[in-house]
Amino acid sequence: MVQFMVQLEVKVEGQWKPVIRYDCAHDISHRDRYNRKGDQTKEELNLPYGEALTLADEDIDDNWGIYTFEFLKGVYP
């Protein structure tokens, strides 16, 4: 695998906004979480790309409702 990106987005006031994104930009696997203002926090995963992709798919499948709720309610800074 050369690269990957998995992202959860929510439509807010007619515009799609990122909520959480897993990718390997800058040659490291990591997770970015966003708030409604667009601020993000980055967490390095230190996983091979294949394992990070599997984690991303499973995490978003299992937790999309929680991530969406936190994003819309402003729970996550």
pTM of this structure: 0.90
Tens-place pLDDT, residues 33-56 = 999 999 999 999 999 999 999 999
User: d(Cα 25, Cα 76) in Å, to the nearest integer?
Assistant: 23
* Percent with pLDDT over 90 in the chain: 88
The sign of the dihedral angle between the CA atoms of 41, 47, 49, 51 is negative
**What are 19's strand-pairing partners?**
none
Query: Mapping DSSP to helix (H, G, I), strand (E, B) and coil, where does residue 31 land?
Result: strand
**Rg of the chain over CA atoms, in angstroms?**
12
Cα separation of the two ends of the chain: 32
How big is the CA angle at 55 (ends 66 and 62), to the nearest 5 degrees?
A: 30
Domain ranges of the chain: 5-73
